[in-house]
Amino acid sequence: MPSTTVLLILLTAISYVNARCGMTDLPPTVLRQVESSFQSFHTANFASFSSLAAPTIPTWVHIVTDGSRGSVSDSQVQQQIQVLNQDYQGKFQFTLAGTTRQQNSAWFNGSPGSQGYNSMKASLRKGGPETLNIYSSNPGSGLLGIATFPSSYGSSPKDDGVVISFGTFPGGSSPNYNLGKTATHEVGHWLGLYHTFQGGCSETAGDYVMDTPAESSPASGCPTNRDTCPGGGPDPVHNYMDYSIDSCLSEFTAGQFARMQSQYAMYRNQGTTAPQVPPPPPPPSKPRTTTKKVTPKPKPTGGSTGGGSPGGTVGGACGAFGSSQCLAGTMYVCGGAAPYTWQVWYKGC
């Protein structure tokens, strides 16, 4: 991959009304290269592994406290595993490989990219690309959770995994976000999903899943019948990859499951490396916002569907995808050059 300065778009939750969380986004040229490699793999292999038994994902849960805050019971850990298995509907099976408990204030309060945060992951992570590591801490700045994409494992194996705020476990202390759905959302990223509103209305590929309606911006609360992109159907506010409150989230689509199966097979079952992007720096305390008019445009309906399998490769317009528009609450941060690493930031308020 050519050495390129990457513009990372970090959507920051500036209020509950505007957004629940944020994510990094890729420039069109980088995203096209990453998706091109994956779509080629998906087309060639989906039929061979889509009928196989659901992958069993060994899951380590690391509970980090500062001595007075951060406690999560064994019962809550078991309930979180149950929520994951329920939400992933048998397409993936999560088994608790073990639970570790650490008292370390620097780790507990470590924000993304900080020494404490990096040390926590480097010290606690277990297993290879097929092993899910969930870290429970207090990442700060209103963050509910953070995840890495499958394609980043090759360049940053110790960074791989999901970090969630301790209050988001089932029965936790985070109002509206204590049913365990933060982990469901972040594991979706860990298995290769984008947010449902990626690309907004104006992009042709959006989240690279054809059965999720286009959405111009993140949902908040539970706005049933919300429709921000005319012509594509109501917004997927009940989808785990949107930002609605936990009680509103209830579904993945067939296309999302197909994408996750392919991403798992390419990056986690085989450990395949692919084009990477650099991790973003910690979010600044005073984000700069800007707005730009977005012209609605529905998702494409054409293209090959990988032999009729749901969520198969989309041809044509997908190759032109790129997130170039601005949204209210968007902040721009400059990244570095190759090699790259993907990381998602999940921010709540």
Catalytic residues: 186
Which residues, 6+ apart, have CB-to-CB distance to 105 below 8 Å? 66, 67
Q: Please state, as a whole number, how many other Cβ atoms lie within 10 Å of the Cβ of residue 114.
A: 16
Enter the DSSP assignment of 239.
Answer: B
Q: By the 8 A CB rule, do 241 and 249 touch?
A: no
Q: Which two tokens stand for residue 188?
A: 């979706």
Contacts of range 37-41, beta carbons closer than 8 Å, 24 or more positions apart: 37/274, 37/275, 38/151, 38/192, 38/262, 38/263, 38/266, 38/274, 39/313, 39/314, 39/318, 40/313, 41/262, 41/265, 41/266, 41/272
What is the C-alpha to C-alpha distance for residues 294 and 245, in angstroms, rounded to an integer? 26
Residues 84, 72, 244, 329, Cα dihedral to 10°: -120
Which residues, 6+ apart, have CB-to-CB distance to 87 below 8 Å? 181, 184, 240, 252
Which residues, 6+ apart, have CB-to-CB distance to 264 below 8 Å? 55, 92, 150, 191, 192
164: amino acid identity, one letter: I
What is the C-alpha to C-alpha distance for residues 221 and 248, in angstroms, rounded to an integer? 8
Whose CA is closest to 310, among 233, 207, 209? 209
Which residues, 6+ apart, have CB-to-CB distance to 82 below 8 Å? none
What is the C-alpha to C-alpha distance for residues 118 and 160, in angstroms, rounded to an integer? 11
In 270-314, DSSP assigns E strands to none
Paired strand residues for 330: 11
